[in-house]
Amino acid sequence: MVTQRETLTTNRPYSPPSNVITILQRIRSRNLPDRVGSEYLGDARIPEGTITRTLFGLRFLGLIGQSDEPTPDLCSIATSTDEEYRFTLEQLVRQGYSEVLASVDPAQDAPDRIVNFFRRYTPASQRGRMVTFFLGMCREAGMPTLEVSRDASPRRGGAVPSGRNATVRGESQPRRSGARQTAQGNSYEGKRTRQRDGTLSPALDMLLRSLPPAGAELSTTQREQWIAMARATLAFLYPSQESQQEATQHET
């Protein structure tokens, strides 16, 4: 039987980051419950197959205790301003991922370097999702990542194409929209690629924003890195029956 110490040592959360973000936003907009457990997550419409993984993510970040009780940090988040919320969440992310952040910089390191560091964690088949969760929570906390700039300033290092460094959020949006329409005929309007509020899934948003403007140079290595992240993101959003069964086996 896997103990909690072994789990925290060898595993990292790999639920959709949007699940944890949904819970945090729900708590900030409603009364804080006595327990943030399976029933609460079900009421928040977290998919049943990801509830256990989402609870692990909440525990890992120090938001709930072993009996699903809110921690002082979650109580603080419940009544925080936007600035206080991101500050508190950033401290929790930095604390939970201290060894990761001591070796990699999500603002400058390419995805393959981050995935390579996560090779020390299990299950091996979920490492791509672990990285997606990590980067998703960094973004939610206001921490810059290579995949998505939090502002319009250029990003340095890694596999960032030179064309993307000149991208400004307001000017590049039409091009990204056009790329999305080309990819699926009209648009990414599929229910499973968007959240319930109609916005694009954070994982897909992160992936699409990592592309340079159309016509910019993209090396073979950069293309392969992007395709690898695309595969991991699609597996994350559209889990196969085999991956679900494997994840369930590791959770029991």
Please tell me the predicted confidence (pLDDT) of residue 208. 76
Nearest to 164 by CA among 202, 199, 216: 216
Both tokens of 196, joined, read 């319930």
Please tell me the predicted confidence (pLDDT) of residue 75. 96
Long-range contacts of 112-121 (CB under 8 A, 24+ apart): 112/159, 112/225, 112/228, 113/158, 115/228, 115/232, 118/12, 121/10, 121/11, 121/12
Please tell me the predicted confidence (pLDDT) of residue 219. 78
Both tokens of 109, joined, read 């390191």
Both tokens of 45, joined, read 């419409």
Nearest to 13 by CA among 50, 44, 67: 50
CA distance 78 to 97: 23
Per-residue pLDDT of the chain in tens (252 residues, 90 and over written 9): 344 444 556 789 999 999 999 999 999 999 999 999 999 999 999 999 999 999 999 999 999 999 999 999 999 999 999 999 999 999 999 999 999 999 999 999 988 899 999 999 988 999 999 999 999 999 999 999 985 444 433 333 333 333 333 333 333 333 333 433 333 333 333 434 444 555 566 667 666 767 777 767 777 877 777 787 777 777 766 776 665 555 555 555
pLDDT in tens, 36-69: 999 999 999 999 999 999 999 999 999 999 999 9
* CB within 8 Å of 226: residues ≥ 6 apart: 207, 210, 211, 218
pLDDT in tens, 66-109: 999 999 999 999 999 999 999 999 999 999 999 999 999 999 99
Please tell me the predicted confidence (pLDDT) of residue 227. 84
The neighbour count for residue 131, using CB atoms within 10 Å, is: 26
Query: Reduced to 3 states, what is the DSSP secondary structure of residue 64?
Result: strand
Please tell me the predicted confidence (pLDDT) of residue 42. 95
* CB within 8 Å of 190: residues ≥ 6 apart: 184
